[in-house]
Chain A
Amino acid sequence: MPLETADKRRLDSDFTEVYRTHLRDVYSYAYYRIGNHHDAEDLTEQTFLQAYRHFDRAQRESNGRPLRPWLIRIAHNLAANYYRDRSRRPQTQLEDASVVSAPHDTEELVEGRQELREVLEGVSKLPDDRREALIMRFALDMDNREIARALGRTEGATKVLIHRAIKQLEQGLGEEPDA
């Protein structure tokens, strides 16, 4: 059923707002999920193109709820296909994502970068669902409700998932031989 012209304009406007607001979120998710900028750009592009195709329906079914979890879920599914189709695994070494953004002196910078690299490496070794939950929580600042929607879980299960992910990461970092 064709949309009324006014409806299409509203839809265009609404989509643009979603795009502007969440481009960085989708890209950040893709980057930390995939591990390199090149493929993260591909994933982000495909996420928004797919979102265009289904935006009308998603908006109708969202009942006014934020669409960020829906966007991230699209990216999540595409990332799963990315690994399945190409038999790839997340890269342990992330490209430099301006890991330390605040200015420091050289010694602090080196020490800080090393510490944060260990954290990123620890995150990359977590099981997929735990890693994704941490990316959503800390890189995208999503709350439990949003993460639950993105992962298709209950809020309670999501809370437990994040708790276990942090505990596992903490334990892994504590076991670093050169700590």
Chain B
Amino acid sequence: MPDAIDIEALLRSALVPVEPSDGLSDRLERGLSDLTDMAADELADWELSAMRDPRNWARPAAAVVVGSTAAGALVLVRARQQHKKRQITGVRALERGIRDVADDLQKRLGR
């Protein structure tokens, strides 16, 4: 090291921002898909008769929120990868499906 070192300049040169790999977006996408699937399962398993009991409302309502948020974000994450347009179409369909279920559920709950 030289006698007089510009430590801040060296730190700027050493700690350069690091670009994530292309594979990371795919991994994020898969994680979000898992979240979405979990939320959809919650809804699928939910008996309509349970709606009469307000104690049962919290879990499916949370599933709707998680599912919709994850699915929406998932669409836009995928939008970054323009070479995978077929997948985008599939996820948008999934997102629409979840939103339809959510809207239906909200109507049933008499919002």
| A interface, CB within 8 angstroms of B | 1-3, 5, 8-9, 11-13, 15-16, 19-20, 23-25, 27-28, 31-32, 37, 40-41, 44-45, 48-49, 52-53, 55-56, 97-101, 112, 115-116, 118-120, 123, 134-135, 137-140, 166, 169-170, 173-174, 176, 179
Contact = CB atoms under 8 A, between A and B. Distances in A.
Contacts of B17: 24-25, 28, 139-140
Contacts of A16: 72-73, 76-77
Interface of B: 1, 5, 7-8, 10-21, 23-24, 27-28, 31-32, 35, 61, 64-66, 68-70, 72-73, 75-77, 80, 99, 102-103, 105-106, 111
Given A16-B73, A45-B31, A49-B32, A116 B14 contact: yes
Contact of A8 (B10, B31, B72): B72
| Among all A-B residue pairs, the 6 with the closest Cβ atoms | A12-B72, A16-B76, A139-B15, A27-B20, A138-B15, A179-B1
Given A8-B65, A55-B69, A139 B27 contact: no
A15 B64 contact: no
A143 B99 CA distance: 40
A120 to B, nearest CB: 5
Contact of B73 (A15, A98, A101, A116): A15
A49 B28 CA distance: 8
A32 B11 CA distance: 12
